[in-house]
Structure formats: C-alpha cells, structure tokens
C-alpha cells in the first residue's frame, strides 16, 4: 500500500471532503484518473461493482466540492455506486479492504462513517429516505441540503414515484437523476440539451425570479397575471416538446448535461443549490467510463468476481436453472419467466433467447413481478419468477395476498439463498425460509445440487401449486456430492443421509442447503473424538408434516440427540418448525434436540480473517461444541 500511495499523488492527500476542495482546479482531472485507476485495481482484486462506480467519478467529485458532507446529507441509490464517495470521505487508506471480512462495506453503511447518512443495498429507497432527511431539516430549522443520487434503473421501482408524489417544493432537496442506460422522459433530446445550457446560467434564474416578482406586485391583477403567464408558458412548451414528468410533479428540472464533464456538473449542482428548493438535476453518465472493457460491456462489469478466483467454467445454480427453464418452456408453452431487472444475475437470458414473447423483465419492481405472476397463473399460465432471496422480501404481501391465498401455481426461484459474505447484511438470504414457512399453501424446496435443482423445478411446476425453490449462489460443492449422493438416490427429492442402515449414530445433524458442508466438517471432527455422528440432508422443507415424517423414518435406534442446523434466521425457521412436528416422537424416544441457526442478528462480518459462518456462530467448531453440550 505504501508503494501504491507514492504513485497516487492527489487521492492520497484526501482524508475528508475539505481536503478535496483544497486540490487546485487544474489538478482535478488528474485526481479523477487516479480514482479510476484505483477502482479498477481494487475491484479486480476484491470483486464488486465496477462499471457503475467508474461512471460516477466526476459526479462524486463535483458533489463533494459543492456540498458539505456530513452536514449535508448524500444518499446513493443503489449504494453500490458509493466506492468513490468512500475514497473521498476518509476511507481511501482502507480501500483495499473493500468487501473483505473486517473491511469496508460495498454499500453506504451508517456505522462505518458519519458521511454515510443512510445505508441501503436495495434499489429505489433513496428518495423516500432523502425526503425524510430534508423534512426533518425543515422542521428543525437546519440549513443542510439533502442530495439523492438515483440511477435511472431505480426509477423502475415504485417507491421512487411514491416519494416523488410526496415531494414538497419548500425543501432543500436535490434529486440527481443519473441516466446511464435509458431515456426517462419524452423531451430529453436536442431541445432539452439546448435548454439546459440556458438554465445553467445564473442570469436565467435571476431574470425568471425578477419577472415573477414584478408580475405578482402589479396591484389587483398581479397574482392572476403571473399564473396566467405561467400556464401559457407551460402549454406552449408542452405543445412543442412534450411534457416533463418532473415539472408536472411541481419540481424544478435542470438538465440534462454530461455527468462525466466534471466542470459542467459542478456548475449545475452549484446552481441547483442556490435555488434553495426541491430540484431535479438530470445528468448523463457512461457506465465503465475510462476503462474500455467496462465501457464496451457494462453488464459484465456490474458485479465482478475477483480475478484471482475467476473460473472459465460458467456453470452455476443460476445458469442451470435458466437453461432448465428454457428447455422446459420450449415444450410447455404455459411456462413464462419473470425477472426484476436481474436477467443476467438469475440466469434467465437463455429464456429470453428461447421464448422472448414469454420472457418479462419488469424492472426493479419485485412486488409487481409477483402479482403479475399471480395474474398470469390465474389465467392458465405457469409463471416462474426468479428473484434473489434478499429482494424477495420486498414482495412479502404479494406472496401472501395474491399468490398463496388464491392457491395459484406460481413458482418462485429464490436465488442467492443463505449468507452472503461479500455483499454483507443487505444481501443475506436468511429470512425467506422463516417468512415463507408460515404462509399456507406454499411448498419450499431446498436443492443443494444441480440435479436436485432440476428435479425440484419439474416437481414444483408440475404440481400446480405455489412453490419456492431456494438455492445458493455459485456452484455445487464436490464434497457434498461425494458425501450424500449416489447414482441410486440422485433424482429422488426428499432426504439424503451420509450413513447406512448398519450405523447407529449417537447424534444426527438435520440440515439443508450449502451449510451442509459445515455439518460434514463438524461430523468428521466429532467422529475423530469417538462420537458417532450422522447427517440428514433435506431437499424439501415444506410441507413440514412430510419432511418431519422423512426425518422420523431416518432416525436409527440408539440415536441420543438431534441438532437442527440452518444458515437462516432461527425464529420461525425450519428447525423450530421441525422440532414442533417431531416433539412427541422425540420425547417418547428420549432424544435430546437443539437448534443452531442465525440467532436474532443481521450477521456483520466485522473481524478480519473470519468466515461468514464463524461470524454467525454456525461454523463447524460451533456445531461440534453445540453437539457436545447436549449429549
């Protein structure tokens, strides 16, 4: 790091936004190049979001030169475009720890810095939060500004529009529309670009304000005349160029401008600040700016894997799911696929190619995705919605009210289930089992192999019932395959075990999902200490009455204890539900039981060198100790 710091001349001087404002104007472009160089280096090493951060370098520099963080509040949507913000707010010396255990978060995080006023890993939340900050400042008499940097993709989420509907003119609220892929409103074009040049000048606003004051002061007719002139102006403008969504909402609109032009961006932000009211600032940035591979293929550089672990083998649970669904949908024309702006991440691009008329990307709108699926199902289709576990939380009511209550054949493909070491608490898929478990009519599948995933998909879709199939990120685990699966038992959905009928384990670990690898390690440790240990691996959880019967049938005589292990939240999870179903049986057999799961916390991986399982207290050593304590 010391050698790298010598090469970085200007960025290394910045320990706060105040230091940034002291960098000479003619050195700022060099600073931006240093930031880009560091982004490419760090994200290549650690993984993370590269294209979006490269695109907001000039914008973030301009933000911290115009506004005074932390007095002014800066909120990024989504927070994964905040890496530059971290470098400029005293965290550059720790940037090598980005997304590492004990290191910097990949998102804004309140506990990490006073400059991170609001944390979020989900999209479309920024404006609601910013409106809360700005309103609190108005009520308390604070002169602070609140700035929300909102990517155009976030505008596909309904919360942004709900917040816009509640914006007041009299707030110190700057909403930056960061357009980097798609157009938003009809009048963004040649006229809007020309108009932005006029609107960025202080003379334009002085003249506009002076004219308004003059007209309103005319006795008797002034106010009416001012409103009449304003209406005529808007009618003339809308007739020629089309209406502007934001101005129709009563907000002042500035732009669009090139958001990668630092000087122009800074000038426009300063002008917006002087208006002292709620303002939309429209900037256009280029994802991957300054790094040709990311500019050419921004989607590929949205979320990168570290180069040290890059693998030419592209097979994963997501890609297997997508290819399987594409194959099934080719022969069954009832099958439709739905994604909430994550077609690449969820593996559904193969479905887009196979049957584009039945592939739907609804944008960042998980609630809509699920109720849309319910509508399709109610009218005879077999919709499959692929959504990350952490984003499925946003559609909780839709699952209950629109899918389960009506017992509709919607298959939810719950990607990225389990703990997420790199992205952290905002992306842990640890709540879906608990909140799905208490919803009637829904079946929950938990495959941990590719073949298990394929079998679960066929079973769920053919069942004609609401179903959730949850599977982890990445690839299947060879050690799990070797331990539990044989040619004879591979395609049966239900339960797998790592002992035969001749064994009589002292203790059984009942588990599901990728945490099974920790169960295998703990079992080996216990066996080395003379404690005979077996593992039951469940591939389907719900209905719990069925899975409890399978567990019961696989408990040999002589077993003294059961440990229910899961990498999800304990309260309401699989362990508690299975314990409840098995209570009378275990009591009669005098078998002790315990549950080891994520216990009432969000699992922050704050210690360097610790695995995410260790941070959650569900690693092999913790499993071993828990078992010893109940024997």
| Residues with a known catalytic role | 287, 366, 394
**Alpha carbon distance 156, 148 (integer Å):** 16
- Answer for the pair 305, 462: CB distance below 8 angstroms, yes or no: no
Of 135, 133, 164, 141, nearest to 69 by C-alpha is 133
Angle of CA points 412, 119, 305, to nearest 5°: 60
Backbone φ, ψ for residue 477 (5° rounding): -100, 125
250: helix, strand or coil: coil
Order the strands of the 411-415 sheet from edge to edge. 359-361, 335-339, 382-388, 411-415, 467-470, 443-445, 540-542
**Alpha carbon distance 525, 620 (integer Å):** 8
Of 87, 96, 109, nearest to 31 by C-alpha is 87
What DSSP line would sit under 251-280, residue for residue?
Answer: -EEEEEEETT-HHHHHHHHHHHHHH-S-EE
624: which residues sit within 8 A by CB, 6+ positions away?
Answer: 522, 525, 526
- Answer for the pair 538, 441: CB distance below 8 angstroms, yes or no: no
Burial 401-431 (b: 16+ CB within 10 A, else e): ebbbeeebbbbbbbbbbbbbbbbbbbbbbbb
> What Cα–Cα distance (Å) separates residue 192 from each residue in 23, 254, 266, 283, 612?
33, 9, 19, 12, 49
Alpha helix ranges (H) inside 67-153? 83-86, 126-140
Of 39, 61, 22, nearest to 285 by C-alpha is 61
Torsion sign across C-alpha atoms 26, 30, 33, 34: negative
Order the strands of the 173-179 sheet from edge to edge. 73-77, 146-151, 173-179, 279-284, 252-258
Q: How much helix, strand and coil, in percent to the nearest 5, is found in the chain? A: 50, 15, 35
End-to-end CA distance of the chain, in Å?
Answer: 50
Side-chain half-sphere exposure of 596, counting CA atoms within 13 A: 30
**Alpha carbon distance 170, 22 (integer Å):** 32
Backbone φ, ψ for residue 283 (5° rounding): -120, 150
Dmax (CA) of the chain = 101
Of 107, 122, 114, nearest to 158 by C-alpha is 122
Side-chain half-sphere exposure of 167, counting CA atoms within 13 A: 31
Of 626, 457, 606, nearest to 540 by C-alpha is 457
């Amino acid at each position: 790091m010391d050698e790298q710091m010598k090469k970085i001349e200007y960025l290394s001087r910045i320990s706060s936004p105040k230091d940034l404002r002291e960098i000479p104007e003619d050195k700022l472009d060099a600073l931006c190049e240093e930031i880009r160089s560091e982004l490419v280096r760090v994200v290549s090493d650690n993984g993370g979001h590269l294209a979006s951060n490269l695109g907001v370098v000039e914008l973030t520099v301009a933000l911290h030169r115009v506004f005074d963080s932390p007095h002014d509040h800066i909120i990024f949507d989504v927070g994964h475009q905040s890496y530059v913000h971290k470098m400029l707010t005293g965290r550059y010396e720790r940037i090598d720890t980005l997304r590492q255990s004990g290191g910097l978060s990949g998102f804004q995080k309140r506990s990490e810095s006073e400059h991170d006023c609001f944390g979020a890993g989900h999209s479309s939340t920024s404006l609601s939060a910013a409106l809360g900050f700005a309103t609190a400042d108005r009520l308390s008499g604070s002169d602070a500004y609140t700035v929300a940097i909102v990517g155009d993709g976030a505008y596909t989420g309904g919360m942004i529009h709900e917040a816009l509907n509640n914006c007041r003119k009299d707030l110190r609220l700057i909403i930056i529309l960061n357009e980097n892929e798609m157009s938003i409103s009809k009048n963004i074009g040649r006229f809007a670009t020309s108009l932005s040049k006029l609107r960025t000048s202080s003379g334009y606003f002085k003249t506009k304000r002076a004219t308004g004051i003059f007209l309103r002061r005319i006795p008797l007719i002034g106010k009416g005349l001012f409103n009449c002139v304003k209406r005529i102006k808007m009618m003339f403008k809308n007739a020629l160029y089309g209406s502007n969504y934001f101005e129709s909402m009563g907000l002042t609109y500035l732009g669009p401008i090139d958001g990668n032009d630092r000087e122009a961006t800074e000038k426009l932000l300063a002008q917006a600040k002087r208006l002292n009211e709620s303002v939309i600032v429209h900037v256009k940035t280029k994802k991957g700016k300054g790094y040709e591979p990311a500019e050419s293929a921004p989607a590929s550089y949205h979320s990168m894997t570290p180069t040290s672990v890059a693998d030419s083998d592209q097979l994963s649970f997501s890609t297997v799911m997508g290819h399987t669904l594409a194959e099934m949908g080719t022969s069954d024309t009832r099958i439709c696929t739905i994604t909430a702006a994550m077609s690449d991440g969820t593996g559904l691009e193969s479905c887009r190619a196979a049957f584009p008329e039945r592939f739907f990307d609804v944008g960042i709108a998980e609630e809509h995705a699920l109720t849309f699926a319910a509508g399709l199902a109610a009218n005879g289709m077999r919709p499959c919605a692929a959504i990350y576990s952490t984003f499925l939380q946003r559609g909780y009511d839709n699952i209950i009210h629109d899918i389960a209550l009506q017992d509709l054949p919607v298959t939810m493909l719950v990607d990225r289930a389990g703990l997420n070491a790199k992205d952290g608490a905002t992306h842990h898929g640890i709540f879906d089992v608990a909140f799905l478990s208490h919803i009637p009519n829904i079946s929950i599948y938990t495959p941990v192999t590719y073949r298990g995933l394929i079998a679960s998909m066929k079973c769920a879709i053919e069942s004609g019932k609401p179903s959730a199939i949850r599977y982890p990120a990445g690839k299947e685990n060879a050690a799990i395959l070797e331990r539990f699966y044989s040619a004879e038992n591979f395609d049966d959905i239900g339960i797998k075990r790592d002992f035969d009928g001749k064994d009589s384990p002292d203790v059984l670990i009942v588990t599901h999902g990728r945490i099974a690898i920790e169960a295998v390690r703990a079992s080996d440790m216990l066996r080395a200490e003379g404690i005979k240990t077996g593992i039951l691996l469940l591939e389907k959880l719900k209905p719990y009455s069925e899975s409890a019967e399978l567990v019961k049938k696989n408990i040999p005589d002589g077993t003294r204890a059961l440990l229910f292990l899961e990498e999800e939240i304990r309260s309401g999870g699989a362990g508690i539900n299975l314990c409840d179903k098995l209570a009378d049986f275990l009591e009669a057999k005098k078998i002790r039981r315990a549950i080891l799961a994520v216990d009432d916390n969000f699992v922050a991986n704050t210690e360097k060198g610790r695995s995410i399982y260790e941070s959650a207290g569900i690693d092999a050593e913790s499993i071993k100790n828990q078992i010893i304590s109940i024997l």
